[in-house]
Amino acid sequence: MPELPEVETVRRGLLGAMEGKLIARAETRREGLRWPFPDRMAERLSGRRVIALRRRAKYILADLDSGETLLVHLGMSGRMLIGEARAAPGEFHHAHPAPEKHDHVIFDMEGGARVTFNDARRFGMMDLCATDAVETHPLLAKLGPEPLGNAFSEPYLADALKSRNTPVKSALLDQHLVAGLGNIYVCEALWRAGISPVRKASALSRQRAAALVPVIRAVLGEAIESGGSSLQDYRQADGELGYFQHKFAVYDREGEICKTHGCGGEIHRITQAGRSTYYCRRCQR
């Protein structure tokens, strides 16, 4: 599932085609994805201008001049891809290619760009709500602070982890504690911080807990600059792969030698809450 860096990369990739632009025509090609689409969604989107394109956790939010906001979640395999109308050889008329099987929502934008939501597994979602009520939307209301925002501070995280008796990795994946963190980047951050993912969160000293904040921000920042991580279905808005997977220190490196200088340990994989955790038992304590 795309995590914060992938969603932020997609948002940035869509800015030129969508922010400030009119949705000339929206089309829904099925009744819904993970859940049914909101009533008359295509009609409510068509003719509206996108005044801002932002992100909250793993959601893309498109604020419209109608006073509504479109919420988009990519799910397991969702992609938002930009295409330009092209003329066939020998023709002057420009047209977009016919939609493909898993192209479920289409936005024909002012200026000729087409943004297509493609989702083979159909675990993505879209919803519409009043812009001034976005923060109280059921999917967003209980989310924790953004890990790249000021509210995610060293004192905040030290206090939050002190009250958790779960493994520190499980605590960091709790979207109520911090929004947007996912399995890949928590594994990478814990390795950089030298913290074992199985250590109880409450057992961490305040100093070690606080030190996670700049590490988490650094990992996320590097991943965003790399266009995210492409392991299965994820693509950037222009269709290109992300390449942060080539920089993984522990994730998906079971049996390989730890990259910590002088460590010499081996990367192990365990299962926590149904998810694979990768770490070095020698240098992560």
Beta strand residue intervals within 76-197, DSSP E: 79-84, 86-87, 94-95, 103-109, 113-118, 125-130
242 pLDDT more than 80: no
- Residues 181/3, Cβ–Cβ less than 8 Å: yes
* Alpha carbon distance 79, 81 (integer Å): 6
Give tens-digit pLDDT for 122-150. Answer: 999 999 999 999 999 999 999 999 999 99
Report the catalytic residues.
2-3, 58, 275
* Alpha carbon distance 12, 25 (integer Å): 22
Q: If DSSP codes are grouped into helix, strand and coil, which group holds residue 40? A: coil
- Residues 180/152, Cβ–Cβ less than 8 Å: no
Give tens-digit pLDDT for 177-201. Answer: 999 999 999 999 999 999 999 999 9
The token pair at 276 is 């694979």
Confidence at residue 227, expressed as pLDDT on a 0 to 100 scale = 81
Q: What domains lie within the chain, and their CATH numbers?
A: 4-136 (3.20.190.10), 154-280 (1.10.8.50)
> How many whole angstroms from its chain centre is CA 44?
25
89 pLDDT more than 60: no
Cα distances from 155 to residues 55, 85, 192, in angstroms, run: 24, 51, 20
For tokens 């397991």, name the residue.
Answer: 76
* Alpha carbon distance 94, 88 (integer Å): 7
